[in-house]
A and B are shown apart, each in its own frame.
Chain A
Amino acid sequence: MAALSEEVLLVVKKVRQRKQDGTLYLMAERIAWGPEGKDRFTVSHLYADTRCQKISPDGKAKIQLQLVLHTGESTTFHFSNDSSALKDRDAAKELLQQLLPKFKKKANKELEEKNRMLQEDPVLFQLYKDLVVSQVISADEFWANRLGDTNHADPSLSNNKQEVGISGAFLADIRPQTDGCNGLRYNLTADIIESIFRTYPTVKEKYCENVPHNLTEKEFWTRFFQSHYFHRDRINTGTQDIFSECAKQDEQGLKSMVVQGVKNPLVDLLSLEDKTLDEGYGVCTTLPSTSNSNRSVKESSNSAIIKRFNHHSAMVLAAGSRKGETPANQASETSNTDGNSRDSVFFQPPVKKVKLKEAIEYEDLQRENRPKTVALNLKKSDRYAHGPVPLQSQQYTTSQDIINSVNYIQHEMVNYKPNLTQVLSSTTASSAIAALSSGGVLMQAATQQAINQMVPSEVQGELKHLYAAAGELLRHFWSCFPVNTPFMEEKVTKMKSNLERFQMTKLCPFQEKIQRQYLSTNLTGHLEEMLQTAYSKFHIWQTRRMLRKT
């Protein structure tokens, strides 16, 4: 029922939910929907429970708004008012956009984290069920140790995002579309604008100078695309063009880049030439001239476009290595790569050295630079050769005994002839068989069946869960010692009572159950022993504390 004290912020009629007509109410703390004609709300969600809202795209026939809750459920509202559906939906959306952030609790993030952890790890989930759901231990204590780890890990991960580079084809991606009557339409997104600014810092300078003082953004870009700077053939007519300066700067940059050359001493760009096998199969005696005057018109236009391509690629690469530094730094640091260098000399040696080093050194052939170790200096290494046979007093035989024995046996074996029909008498054989049969002397150990064959698998499973739960509780208990702070004292007392509760609620019923099944094996003896040790430790600690107080 709608509480009368709640403030209704927005009412939208003709909203369908689950194919039923009704009205949507947005209140101060929740959003609710009631069907047509009825007084009650069938759907009501607190803003605190809502994770996010979604709207259907603009082009679709159905105008919908969806609320996704933290639990994963979602509710969809369909705005079906013929005239104002879109307006209604947008109004609702705006209001929700303002209201939802207010109610977003930080704790929800943790809740999600906890849910995720429980879902990922079935063992943890089972432990949770055993301990928290059955109220042996409180949820806070359970999560006390576990969440600590994850909170530390996250910040460091989010800081190491990689920088996104610039696509070399960003200018080509603009893809002008014909606007109908002789105009061109350029679609500029924020990404493209950013790419242009990063690649051509001169353009960015112009932008900062002119916008918004002289030109609007739209005008600036129109001029940009109209200018010859942008187009293929850069005929520098220009005075009027604000970009003519940029063109001149680019030319200069390109020239200085060529002068600097490549820093890799092993790459010799100048030796790359178009050598064509002339007529006569390369026996041509006249050298092809490279002076500008002999070039044909075609060659010069080709060279212009190639120059532009090279310049563009160099700028893109330079922008990538610049990595969004502040403009103050740009001028000084890596600007040598785009030709407008100030401190180019500073950076030459390291790169060259690195390249040279890479070429001449092989890592595997180096002497291994392992940290210096101390040589092992064994004084009595024969100790290792001695097995775990204790040095017990052996029966010492005198040499006379030895000689006697050897003589005796030699005497015996001189005339050895195998007598295979008289090897065994039947009485000895039957006594040996008796010893080897089940129940016999040698077979005592075999009569004990393996314990895992006698106990049914559900009992085994339950025992494993008990062990996991007990282990968790005991871990909390034993981590409190040595008890230094009053917080620890409280915790110890609480853990002891938890252990007792665990024993009462989980262990004793289990024991009774297995007793009823006539399983004579003592499955819980070890668990009880562990709990007893914990109790006696607690008792000792308690008596000591009493003594100290008196």
Chain B
Amino acid sequence: MASEEEINLLVIVVDVNPIWWGQQAQRATELTLSKCLDAVMVLGNSHMAMSRTNKLSVIASHFEDSHFLYPGKSWRMGDSCGDDASSSGDGKYELLAVANNLIAEEIRKVMSKTEVRGNSTDTLLAGTLAKALCYINRVSKEFEVGQEIKSRILVIKAAEDCARQYMNFMNVIFAAQKQNILIDACVLDSDSGLLQQACDITGGLYLKIPQKVALAQYLLWVFLPDSEQRSQLVLPPPAHVDYRAACFCHRNLIEIGYVCSVCLSIFCNFSPICTTCETAFKIQLPQMVKPKKKKLKQPT
């Protein structure tokens, strides 16, 4: 018999791009990766504390791969995974303590394994989101039939967008939309057009926080409530999303342009041959009107 309570699954995707965070640390800004992870842990704990049936997952997005920080692969509820500090001395809810320890352990592993290979330095965000969707799918299948599970993904973004991930990103967004999974975004540094689109399409919240130090506060205020509770709260309004397309020739964002009817590529200027599919076009020029010879009136 499926229990009546709804299960809420929150998947937090943290951008742990070492290059960006390393640069941040070098500039001695106040928000370091450690502080960021602390804030994430606070949010995770709060989420799990809200209800017994809430579930959490944390994935770290790296430029090499995406790594599940929590739950771990071999983690079982009953196992004493860490004999050392599983029972923290402050009487905390054991699940939270275990989660925190696991996250800390995993991120240490991830960071120590980092190797610069020189191929790409962009965060593999699209891949991480895809992994998150797969995880959500797996979890929702594990429950009994009829058990409702509501999921959402929160992306904490640090580094810039990678234009090459555009296609995969859009696929992930539309897949999330079909599955009714919200994608929220908390952006630390530069605005990300892709995440803006993601939030707009799936119905999530996009926020670029002005004060990086107060990350935890923003996370708790804006991203802790789930979608039903958000309708009762006054939260930052959705930003205007720039849906303009970019022309294929210069990558300028244009509002009005020319589209090839064969291959649907967008251009900002008319050219008689489409450079993508090599179709020739004809445009009717306005008919030239011969100017009539006017008789000039001679002033008398």
Contacts and interface: CB of A to CB of B under 8 A. Distances in A.
Interface string A368-399: 00000000111111011111111100100101
A413 interface: yes
Nearest to B168: A385
A428 B213 contact: yes
B139 interface: no
A375 to B, nearest CB: 10
A511 B165 CA distance: 52
A397 B23 CA distance: 10
Contacts of A433: 217, 221
A269 B254 CA distance: 74
Interface stretch (A117-125, A217-225, A356-364, A401-409): A401-409
Interface stretch (A67-75, A279-287, A415-423, A531-539): A415-423
A155 B20 CA distance: 75
A417 B160 CA distance: 27
B193 A404 contact: no
A436 B236 CA distance: 7
Interface stretch (A205-213, A236-244, A437-445, A521-529): A437-445
A512 interface: no
Nearest to B221: A436
Specify which of B235, B239, B277 lies most central, judged by the most chain A CB atoms within 10 Å of its CB. Answer: B277
Contacts of B236: 436, 442-443, 445-446
A446 B238 CA distance: 9
A429 interface: yes
B161 interface: yes
B175 interface: no
Contacts of B217: 424, 428-429, 432-433
B8 interface: no
A409 B251 contact: no
B75 interface: no
A365 to B, nearest CB: 32
B111 interface: yes
A431 interface: yes
Contacts of B111: 409-410, 413-414, 416
A304 B84 CA distance: 109
A391 B170 CA distance: 19
Interface residues of A, number: 53
B87 interface: no
Contact of B32 (A412, A431, A442): A412
B78 interface: no
Interface string B208-239: 01110110111001100000000000111101
A511 B70 CA distance: 62
Interface string A98-124: 000000000000000000000000000
Given A412-B25, A413-B34, A402 B19 contact: yes
A409 B22 contact: yes
B118 A380 contact: no
A403 B21 CA distance: 12
A420 B41 contact: yes
A380 B267 CA distance: 14
A351 interface: no
Nearest to A386: B163
Contact of B33 (A401, A404, A409, A445): A409
Nearest to A409: B22
Given A388-B244, A418-B41, A405 B26 contact: yes
A399 B19 CA distance: 10
A381 to B, nearest CB: 7
A378 B277 contact: yes
A292 B276 CA distance: 85
Interface in B28-69: 32-35, 37-39, 41-42, 45
A384 B19 CA distance: 29
Contact of B118 (A389, A399, A441): A399
A305 interface: no
Interface in B81-112: 100, 103-104, 107-108, 111-112
A406 B110 CA distance: 12
A330 B54 CA distance: 85
B221 A389 contact: no
Nearest to B254: A388
B22 A376 contact: no
Interface in A61-88: none
Contacts of A435: 210-211
A389 B163 CA distance: 6
Q: Which 6 A-B pairs have the closest CB atoms?
A: A405-B22, A387-B166, A432-B214, A388-B246, A432-B217, A413-B111
24 contacts: A378-B277, A380-B276, A385-B166, A386-B246, A388-B166, A388-B193, A388-B251, A390-B253, A399-B116, A402-B121, A405-B20, A405-B22, A410-B18, A410-B112, A413-B112, A420-B38, A422-B38, A423-B35, A428-B213, A432-B209, A442-B236, A446-B236, A446-B237, A550-B297
Given A402-B121, A416-B104, 17 more contacts: A378-B263, A378-B277, A383-B248, A387-B167, A389-B251, A390-B246, A390-B251, A391-B251, A397-B19, A402-B116, A405-B20, A420-B41, A420-B42, A422-B38, A424-B39, A438-B234, A445-B237
